[in-house]
Structure 1
Amino acid sequence: MARVLGAYERHLSAERNLSAHSVRAYLSDLTQLGVHLGRRSVTDWAEVDLRALRSWLANQQTRGQQRSSVQRRAAAVRVFYRWLHQTGQVSINPAQTLRSPRTPKRLPATVEQGEADRMLTGAGENAAADDSPVGRRDAAMLEMLYATGIRVSELCGLDLGDVDPGRGTIRVLGKGNKERTVPMGAPARRALDAWLAVRAELASVDTSGRVADAVFVGERGARIDPRVVRRIVHRALNAAGAPDLGPHGLRHAMATHLLEGGADLRSVQELLGHSSLATTQLYTHVTQDRLRAAFKQAHPRA
């Protein structure tokens, strides 16, 4: 079973171009399934039936796992067995009819516009006060995350050649190696220019690869680590008295504030890089005031 998981890991990385984080998540779920099956004396993926898969999911729920986690693991098993079946490693796909528990749809928490303004203003004031490369870098990253809605991994993966100063856009390589172009606002462009002016003070002289091309670098000169970015965002949100939602909260806030400003859902979908409009709808919500205003403006019997 371990040998098959090794081949599947190579398939996810090389053929499906999934991120290292996604590959680890898939393999972690399947490894846990393998442990559960081992307790039932099942030593071959071809011996697994629907009842065994259901017992594993039921065991997850009994142990207190969130429905969203169980849902993700069920999806991981379905994708895995589809691959096993397509590659001829199993004759019957037991996961084909495996159902996931339904999760209630809730409006996610978000950062309000005033809170985002306080966070970015504070970061800019800190950068001006100490006038250090690190302060300018942190301010630029915060402005970029909120202005563009890109993911932390996408921010860390930006190279100098991905920035088009003339057009005020960045080229982003998202999930599944899908490329998109995202515009920046004027404050983000100014903060980025201020950082790039001093970037050489931190960037290492490295001609061996892409590290030298990274837009954002750490204090040792290499491409900045996503964990460092997350710490910076958490610290800035706490300082502004905003909900500590992390970088993904800024991504969601960007989408929400665009919708509140009148942007259409399709445009927000393109900016976020979602392949499905349904995914965008889960990230965004519109205020009740705007819904009422739209109703009064558009409905003939309002």
Structure 2
Amino acid sequence: MKRAEQYVQEFKSYLQVEKHASPHTVYYYLNDVNFFLEFLLSESISFEQADPAVVRVFLTKLYEKKLSRRTVSRKISSLRSFYKFLEREDVVAANPFLRLVQPKAPAYVPSFLYEQELEKLFEASDLEAPLGQRDQAILECLYGTGMRVSECAGITIDDVDLSIGTVLVRGKGRKERYVPFGSFMEKAFRRYLQDGRERLLEKSKEETGKLFLNSRGKPITERGIRLILNKLVEQSAVHMHLHPHKLRHTFATHMLNEGADLRAVQELLGHEHLSSTQIYTHVTKDRLRTIYMNTHPRANRE
């Protein structure tokens, strides 16, 4: 009989090869599975013996640790997938997590930037310097397309078609989508490709197809993009916490606030389920006020 660790490794391969899960997802799934296996070991129970009663005890332990409902929900989801895999492999007869009701996560409203805040960020880069041109192109890319930071770091020169204004984005699960972009992003890309990128590439003396390069002329990393955004915040003297996903939130919010169709935004973001996009249907207070003043019969003030 195989040991639990062997099945965990097989589950890892399943996530990577069959589900095309991201390294981030694989890390958390395995972390959650190993956490449960340690619990079973402390209770002298094998992973094949886990049943709904054992799972309820485990759930109690999670709440005793004062974990958030979101974290508990994620662990349950990870373990449900693990036992679904074991069931498929005929290792267990039933999935003990199948009928477990996940704790309801608190309502989540993503934060976003107002246009005035964005303008200060777009004015922060030195467009005469190679790094400034690159930073501006990255900022335009994240806000102009709503792509994830991993997708942005992975763009190649061949993915970008400046003639028709589209970029090929490789998303989660190796799914590809074409996303259009406008004149501001096109201008930033042309400036960077014709000048800044060439000067950065000279520093490494190595050819690469990746679009965005670091200060040494090597392909930029996700961490590198996050550091660039932090630098732009400092240069613009705005007080905010800026991360790449906040620009994705901003893209979706601004699109929907201006009347974009929900399913169109879903496709642009690369969401598999519409429910993932619906969290952006909140509107700003300014827009609510504008709608009210323009539509309510007794809203007009003399």
Same-fold call, TM > 0.5?
yes
Task: State how far apart, in whole Å, the 2-side matches of 1:46 and 1:234 are.
Answer: 47
1:161 Cα offset (Å): 0.8
Given candidates 217, 232, 236, the residue that maps to 2:213 is: 217
Within the candidate set 75, 79, 82, 2:81 is matched to: 79
| Alpha-carbon distance, 1:243 to partner | 2.6
Match of 1:199 in 2: 197
Between 235-244 and 247-256, report the one with greater CA deviation.
Answer: 235-244
The residue aligned with 1:28 is: 31
User: Percent of counterpart pairs with the same letter?
Assistant: 37
1:165 aligned partner, one-letter code: L
Compared with structure 1, are the counterparts of its residues 298 and 176 closer, same or farther at alpha carbon in structure 2 (3 Å cutoff)?
farther
Report the TM-score when normalising by structure 2. Answer: 0.89
Q: How does 1:154-193 map to 2 (within 5 A)?
A: 154-193=151-190
How much is the aligned-residue C-alpha RMSD, in angstroms?
2.2
1:252 to 2:249 alignment: yes
Q: Which residue of 1 aligns with 2:13?
A: 10
Shift of 1:250: 0.5
Q: For each residue in 1:211-230, what CA deviation from the matched residue of structure 2 results, as whole angstroms up to 9, or x when unmatched?
A: x1100122233221101111
Q: 1:105 to 1:132 in 2, by over 3 A?
A: same
The whole-number CA distance in structure 2 between the counterparts of 1:111 and 1:182 is 21
Which amino acid is the alignment partner of residue 156 of structure 1? A
Secondary structure, aligned partner of 1:194: helix
CA contact (8 A) 1:252 1:284 kept: no
Q: Secondary structure at the match of 2:212?
A: coil
1:240 is displaced (CA, Å) by 4.4
* Distance (whole Å) between structure 2 residues aligned to residue 146 and residue 85 of structure 1: 43
Stretches of structure 2 lacking an aligned partner (at least 5 in a row): none
What is the correspondence of 1:56-75 to structure 2 with a 5 Å cutoff? 56-75=58-77
In the other structure, the counterpart of 2:222 is: 226
TM-score under structure 1 length normalisation: 0.89
How many angstroms apart in 1 are the aligned matches of 2:70 and 2:222? Answer: 24
Q: Cα deviation per residue 1:38-60 (whole Å; 9 max; x = unaligned)?
A: 11112x32111122223333322
Aligned equivalent of 1:47, options 42, 46, 49 = 49
State the partner residue of 1:99.
101
SS at match of 2:177: strand
Query: How far apart in 2 are the matches of 1:52 and 1:221?
Result: 54
Query: 1:146-175: per-residue Cα shift (whole Å, max 9, x none)?
Result: 111000000011011100010111000101
Give the whole-Å Cα distance in 1 for the aligned partners of 2:274 and 2:34.
32
Question: Partner of 1:136 in structure 2?
Answer: 133
- Unmatched tracts of structure 1, length 5 or more: none
CA contact (8 A) 1:158 1:216 kept: yes
